Amino acid sequence: GESVGLHLPTLSVQEGDNSIINCAYSNSASDYFIWYKQESGKGPQFIIDIRSNMDKRQGQRVTVLLNKTVKHLSLQIAATQPGDSAVYFCAENDGGDDYKLSFGAGTTVTVRA
């Protein structure tokens, strides 16, 4: 079946630099995308979401970009901080009535001091 996946399992970033986490999806019916941050031993925490009728959405220090042509999603974190160290998951929903999310494999971000 179609699923959401991430390009790289790990990302090491220097504190203060910008981070870019990538995600590819294959379900062309997907119309809603969401990024979660999961710190060790905790539940996933909502970061930002985007609908398929948008290309870009910004939050506090985070930006999500959606390229529907190549089915690619990215999360940009500005001025990465030690507290940003976590596993990041992208997830998508195909608009079905069940509101289920399909999760990608996750990218572990480590921030170097």
Residues in contact with another protein by CB under 8 A are 32, 34, 36, 41-46, 49, 51, 89, 93, 97-101, 103-106
Least distance from another protein to the Cβ atom of residue 110, Å = 14
Least distance from another protein to the Cβ atom of residue 6, Å = 9
Q: Which residue lies nearer to another protein by CB, 17 or 55?
A: 55
CA angle 8, 61, 107 (to 5 degrees): 15
Range 55-86 burial, b when 16+ CB lie within 10 A, else e = eeeeeeebbbbbeeeebebbbbbeebeeebbb
Least distance from another protein to the Cβ atom of residue 92, Å = 8
Tokens matching residue 56? 């870009």
Q: Which residue lies nearer to another protein by CB, 25 or 89?
A: 89
Q: Which residue lies nearer to another protein by CB, 99 or 113?
A: 99
Residue that the structure tokens 């996933």 belong to: 44
